Structure 1
Amino acid sequence: MTYVQNFIPIHGHLFWSALIAVLPIAFFFWALAIKKIAAHLASFFTMLLALAISVIVYKMPAALPVMSATQGIVYGLVPISWIIVNSVFLYKLTVKTGQFDVIRNSVVSITEDRRLQALLIAFSFGAFLEGSAGFGAPVAITAALLVGLGFNPLYAAGICLLANTAPVAFGAIGSPVIAMAGPTGLPALEISKMIGRQLPLISMFIPLYLIIVMAGFKKAMEVLPALLVSGLSFAVTQFFTANFMGPELPDVLSALVSLITLAVFLKFWKPKSIFYFKHEEAAAAVEAAPASQTKGQIAKAWSPFIVLTIFITIWGIPQIKLALTGQYTGGNAILNAINGIGSAATFSPNVPFLNNHIINSSNDPIAAMYKLDLLGTAGTAIFAAAIMTKFLLNISWKDWFHVFFDTLKELKFPILTILFIVGFAYVMNASGMITTLALTLAKTAALFPFFSPVLGWLGVFITGSDTSSNVLFGTLQQVSAQSVGMNPLLALGANSSGGVTGKMISPQSIAVACAATGLIGRESELLRFTVKHSLFLLLVVCILTFLQSNVLSWMVP
């Protein structure tokens, strides 16, 4: 039982073949954005539609697309969902123990100026939450915090959505990049490098853009030194971590460096006047953190995320990474011991009825395996940090497990959505539907580098997730780029970088922000606030990608 991939199932008619191939994606957009069907149901029905088209139109033996879907579902479970669950779990442990209040106070007590508060909370602190937890937590927490400080709810929500642009591509410990590496077959580090040569240019600009939107150009210039410190420290750290450490740490480290650098800078520099919104009294100052909050208490509150950073760094060291996945061949006794455990915890069984049963365009059989690196995945590093947090914050095992299962319960539908989306993406890839679309997109020829980021933008707008968008369009970008002579890495980076500009207008993000700021029922107002900024930043990414493909090719790894 074999299947030779046929990219033009309606013989001689690429256009009509593409119309059929795009049906699952169009259905998903329609079900989620227009009919407002729950995301997990929309993704499930989309996967079923993709299965039907692969059998009826692409003439695949039914067992092949079904098993391909299971391969995608397993990849969606480990590593993607495992990373997200543990990221949110770690954050919830700090909330459960009351340490998150200390974290919050340590941030908001630094300055009374609304512009600088927005930089510290919406930009730096929000990026930290995006890097360690993601999944709506950054916007929800930072927007609610700004409202509590006296920000207008609409502005608080809009500012936090706009600030969330900078870290999304590396959110939840690099989930979007890790997810893209699976179906495309390219190393996560290489994709990380490409994004790290695009996104820092946007990240450097976001603080200035944020304050111009919030207070106007003149008021932004009054705090220009702080904007430079915030943006440059974040962008430089994001560049180096993405290029030399991989996709797991750019957000966490960039946010910490930006947060600490700006906080220290504000010890020595103050704006000439304190900025408040027009609706506020000039004397409406922020209450400082309690005097009893010592440096030791602050260090304790931040300790789970410090440990997280250390563990993720250790997990990312190449030799240790090899040992954790049972591939180490050196002479170090400790690493050999870890290698034994890693080998026992790493499974790569062939996918039944699928492995080597699909023949690609080069007439080569395609290998298909369930890849389960239980110890080597970054999710396990986060889980280890959560175990350490139990002792650092002195939480009982009973409460620890209670928080863990509460996290699973809370994330059950988002996890199902991810599993079905990844399963659907694998079916489209195995059948050749994605290649059909790629061949059609390749007709744009020299203009494809300009339009490449638009695919990522659309994907995040619909799914609310850069991870889902990367899975959905990663292979499509890769194949399209190869067909027009564009570097595939640049196309993958453009998908993720373009995707971050769609996050602020995603219906899911809008709903989260409105719920957190008491704007339920006013979602259309918030969308009108963010859509023009989303389109402007998308245009910037499109121009940058086009230049990197034609003039600035030296920037591509």
Structure 2
Amino acid sequence: MSTGLLSLLAIVPILTVLFFLVLLRWPAKKAMPVAFLVTVGIAYFAWGVPVNQIAGASMEGVATALEVLFIVFGAILLLNTLKESGAIHTIRQGFMDISPDRRIQVIIICWLFGAFIEGASGWGTPAAIIAPLLVAIGFPAMGAVMTALIIQSAPVSYGAVGTPILIGVESGLGGSAAVEQVAASLGMTIDQYVRMIGGEVAIFNGIIGLLMPLFMVTMLTFFFGPNRSMKEGLAVWKFALFAGVSFAVPFALVANLLGPEFPAMFGGLIGLAIVVPAAKKGFLVPKKTWDFAPSSSWDPAWTGTLNVEPKRNLAPMAPLKAWMPYIVVAVLLVLTRLQTLPFGTWLESVVIEVENIFGSAITIESTPLFLPGFILLVVSVLSFLFYKMAGEAYMNAWKESGRTILAASPALMFAVPMVQVFINSDINSTGFESMPLVLAETASSAAGEHWPAVAPVIGALGAFVAGSNTISNMMFSLFQFGTAQNVGITPSTTVALQAAGGAAGNMICVHNVVAASAAAGLVGREGELIRKLLIPTVYYLIFAGGLGYIFIHGFGMNIGVAMVGLIVGLYLFAVYHGQQQLKAEQQLPRSA
């Protein structure tokens, strides 16, 4: 079979997802079973993957889907616990006290608090926690999910205390003599080489992340504002850029000075420490407050089934007491992820393992107590005791959370197995590489020396299909390294572009979208969300590709300069145009 035909067949599963989910706007619970069957058919008939391998990969996908559902359930249960206790009313008021402007709120909650949660936990936990929290403080469910998923970008490369770098990249490059030789020529061990790559990733993600808060607020005002206006989002460009810098500078410094474990956590915490006091004082905050229209006028497609209206008959609560469950979650996530402490090891010692599923080489392994869902569940129970809740109220929280999870289960139970069959297609009777590697090798042959502009797209492809920056880095890091050597460019920078692209792909990966939607009670609108999220994803990949090209080939009349120039030019034009429109509007009453 020719390489071209093989590549066309390999991309069919991805095109199937895009066709049914994005173009035809099918809900994920209908689109993903079709995509699963198409992937199985191609794996069996074109790749010659044995039935037991397909079955084993599918069961591994089911196990992963159950882990994701466990995390989402824990996040929703904790939120519903806070609702039933009355704490959510205090949390809502607390954000209003920082600033009543929804644009400011979303930057603080998503970009900064979300980055900290990502650094501590990973696993899509930030979106699962933040999306329902935004709904609780008055955001439309679809707007909440969209903005919560945008945060699944720059900080993701350092999620779960650096797992995508320390496990993803290091596992992907480990055991290669070529990598060891390059590292040795630089006077480094493999671990030091990987940490150097992690520093480069932070520089790329930090530069690109400078504009992500503005993307967040502009998309929020354009898609969900009463005037559907971009200029209302662009009006907050100074504060958004300030928040971007407040995160990106410590983020990049920590990655290069301390290593990949803490950039997202420290970037988020330091950013919060700088931005929250500034927002309270009105620093760079527009004088005109922006808010959503009354919920009665919202498009029905924006709203979900999650009801987090606080109980009105409960006594007021101190802010610290209301926030205590989330503080405890953050502390426990950090304590259990630090390798220097024994807590994570204790939790990981409880292992559920099934080897050689259906006689294949695939082994299912899960550490349920180490999953963020377990910590969220424990904190929910502690909150029940801490708030001295009535048993009936706490049971209501469990019932509502259960109903939400049941609605999301069908989509995930097909989405993740489809991904595993796609990835595990390397065990076959034809001798072909796995489907994702076939696609990557075809792309590298076409790009040649221009590979730096394309490398992030491969990372994004891996994250889109696998739902994980870590797995994307495992799959493609060595491929990226080898391609860089073949075309004569810097291997470490190319692998860094792989990881940066993987961060971008997390915004649109199906199971992250399904999980975040489920957490906000928004099921069936996944395709619409992916269409919206393609906007920041494309921005991220163009900017990353352009920066990588410049890092490797330098400044001059080249593709990289054109790509970066396009992004910067559009940003400056948008901000200038938005400011001019706002000035014109402000002058209208005076001339009337």
TM-score range, shorter chain: 0.5 to 0.7
Match of 2:480 in 1: 481
Q: Which of residues 434, 448, 451 in structure 1 aligns to 2:451?
A: 448
Structure 2: stretches of 5+ with no match in the other structure? 175-190, 219-229, 294-311, 429-433, 485-490, 556-592
User: For 2:384 and 2:450, how far apart are their aligned partners in 1?
Assistant: 53
Establish whether residue 312 from structure 1 lines up as the match of residue 333 from structure 2: yes
Q: Which of residues 493, 496, 510 in structure 1 aligns to 2:502?
A: 496
- 8 Å Cα contact 1:47/1:423 also seen in 2: no
Establish whether residue 263 from structure 1 lines up as the match of residue 273 from structure 2: no
Distance 1:29 1:177, change over 3 A: farther
Superposed CA offset, 1:274-308 (max 9, x none): 2246999xxxxxxxxx9x998x7111111111101
- 8 Å Cα contact 2:43/2:49 also seen in 1: yes
User: For 1:472 and 1:45, how far apart are their aligned partners in 2?
Assistant: 24
- 8 Å Cα contact 1:421/1:468 also seen in 2: no
Q: Secondary structure of the residue that 1:274 maps to in structure 2?
A: coil
Residues 189-204 of structure 1 mapped to structure 2, 5 A cutoff: 196-204=202-210
Establish whether residue 351 from structure 1 lines up as the match of residue 356 from structure 2: yes
User: For 1:95 and 1:196, how far apart are their aligned partners in 2?
Assistant: 37
Match of 2:399 in 1: 402
Match of 2:75 in 1: 87
Aligned amino acid, residue 427 of structure 1 = N
How large is the Cα RMSD of the aligned pairs? 5.0
Q: Which of residues 195, 200, 206 in structure 1 aligns to 2:212?
A: 206
- 8 Å Cα contact 1:349/1:369 also seen in 2: yes
Distance 1:76 1:509, change over 3 A: closer
Alpha-carbon shift at residue 508 of structure 1 (Å): 7.5
User: For 2:65 and 2:157, how far apart are their aligned partners in 1?
Assistant: 14
Residues 183-194 of structure 1 mapped to structure 2, 5 A cutoff: 185-186=171-172
Give aligned pairs, total. 480
Residues 382-461 of structure 1 mapped to structure 2, 5 A cutoff: 382-395=376-389, 396=391, 398-399=395-396, 401-431=398-428, 432-443=434-445, 444-455=447-458
Q: Secondary structure of the residue that 1:109 maps to in structure 2?
A: helix
Alpha-carbon shift at residue 133 of structure 1 (Å): 4.7
Q: Secondary structure of the residue that 2:364 maps to in structure 1?
A: coil
Establish whether residue 77 from structure 1 lines up as the match of residue 66 from structure 2: yes
Superposed CA offset, 1:303-329 (max 9, x none): 1111011111111121446x755xxxx
- 8 Å Cα contact 2:207/2:248 also seen in 1: yes
Q: TM-score, normalised by structure 1?
A: 0.67
Residues 104-503 of structure 1 mapped to structure 2, 5 A cutoff: 104-112=92-100, 116-117=104-105, 119-120=107-108, 123-124=111-112, 133-135=125-127, 138=130, 142=134, 161=146, 165-168=150-153, 174=159, 185-186=171-172, 196-207=202-213, 213-215=230-232, 220=236, 224=238, 226-227=239-240, 229-236=242-249, 238-239=251-252, 254-255=267-268, 257-268=270-281, 270=283, 274-276=287-289, 297-320=318-341, 324-325=344-345, 338=346, 342-343=348-349, 345-352=350-357, 354=359, 368-395=362-389, 396=391, 398-399=395-396, 401-431=398-428, 432-443=434-445, 444-455=447-458, 468=467, 470=469, 477-478=476-477, 480-485=479-484, 486-487=491-492, 489-499=495-505
User: For 2:37 and 2:424, how far apart are their aligned partners in 1?
Assistant: 10
Superposed CA offset, 1:164-200 (max 9, x none): 5344465799489869968995599979777544323
- 8 Å Cα contact 1:501/1:534 also seen in 2: yes
User: For 1:279 and 1:406, how far apart are their aligned partners in 2?
Assistant: 28
Distance 1:174 1:412, change over 3 A: farther
User: For 1:198 and 1:135, how far apart are their aligned partners in 2?
Assistant: 22
Structure 1: stretches of 5+ with no match in the other structure? 1-9, 148-152, 281-289, 326-337, 357-367, 553-557
User: For 2:113 and 2:327, how far apart are their aligned partners in 1?
Assistant: 14
Distance 1:255 1:545, change over 3 A: same
Alpha-carbon shift at residue 84 of structure 1 (Å): 3.2
Of stretches 302-311 and 41-50 in structure 1, the one that deviates more from structure 2 is 41-50
Of stretches 300-309 and 399-408 in structure 1, the one that deviates more from structure 2 is 399-408
Distance 1:176 1:440, change over 3 A: farther
- 8 Å Cα contact 1:83/1:172 also seen in 2: no
